[in-house]
Amino acid sequence: MRAQEIRRMAALEDGHWWYRERRAILRAEVGRLRPGRALDVGAAGGGNTLVLVEEGWEATATDCSELAVEVARGRGLRAVQADARDLPVESGSVDLVTALDVLEHIEEDYLATEQIARVLRPGGRALIAVPCDMSLWSAHDYAVGHVRRYCRDSLTGVVEKAGLRVERLWSWNVLLRPLIARRRHSSTGSDHLRPVSPLVNAGLSAIVRLERCLPVGSLRGVTLFLRARRED
């Protein structure tokens, strides 16, 4: 991710509907687990790492960008510069790894999932999010440095190949997919790092929140979430 976009994301993510609702999913997922040691891979400015800390986890942010690490440290977080394909963490020492919108930036994504599996202790969990469906590929993907978008089989395959067992796989941003697809196909660059009006922000948040109580996780969305476990 470019330095300019890291700064923009850190400034926007606290209130932006997309980041706020994604953090709500993170809270719900980690809320079912006993807090322990967590690693937030590809943490950028540390917005998701903050959620982990607030939920009682001993969390460390990692990112390949020196600027991202500086931003995360400036928010009072423990942060380390590291490549997701070579994490400087002891094997079997982490209870939870989060990698939200990370794998799609890495050509050798299998190396990253192998690292996630390596650092997890037996019984530890991984929470992964990726953009889905190559039919949504657009200038936005080029602008934010994506090398692919995933389907259910490709995401499951790279996670299972690393030795993790998939517990749950579901779609997110299902209700907004038609709107986002139309916008992406006419976009000329990144479109979710732009500020939106408070009214639009509230409206989009309300639509996405509906997905929490509707059985839409098996339908096509814009993002795939996956929860996996390292077997004992």
More confident residue, 10 or 163: 163
Under DSSP, is residue 2 helix (H, G, I), strand (E, B) or coil? coil
Q: What's the pLDDT score for residue 88?
A: 96
Among 154, 171, 177, which residue's Cα sits nearest to residue 103? 154
Rounded Cα distance, 55 and 21, in Å: 16
pTM higher than 0.75: yes
**H helices present in the chain, as ranges:** 3-12, 17-30, 47-54, 66-74, 109-119, 139-143, 152-161, 177-185, 198-210
Question: Could you tell me the strand order of the sheet in which 164-172 lies?
Answer: 78-81, 58-63, 37-41, 94-100, 120-131, 223-230, 164-172
Cα dihedral: 10, 85, 125, 159 (round 10): 110
CATH number, position 198? 3.40.50.150
How crowded is residue 165: how many other Cβ atoms within 10 Å of its Cβ? 10
Half-sphere exposure of 130 (CA within 13 A, CB side): 28
Average pLDDT of the chain to the nearest whole number: 93
First to last CA, the chain: 35
Residue 1's pLDDT band (cuts 50, 70, 90): low
Give me the number of domains the chain comprises. 1
Among 105, 161, 155, which residue's Cα sits nearest to residue 127? 155
- Counting residues of the chain whose pLDDT is more than 70, the rounded percentage is 94
Encode pLDDT of 47-63 as tens digits: 999 999 999 999 999 99
Range of the domain at 90: 3-230
| C-alpha dihedral sign at 214, 148, 20, 184 | negative
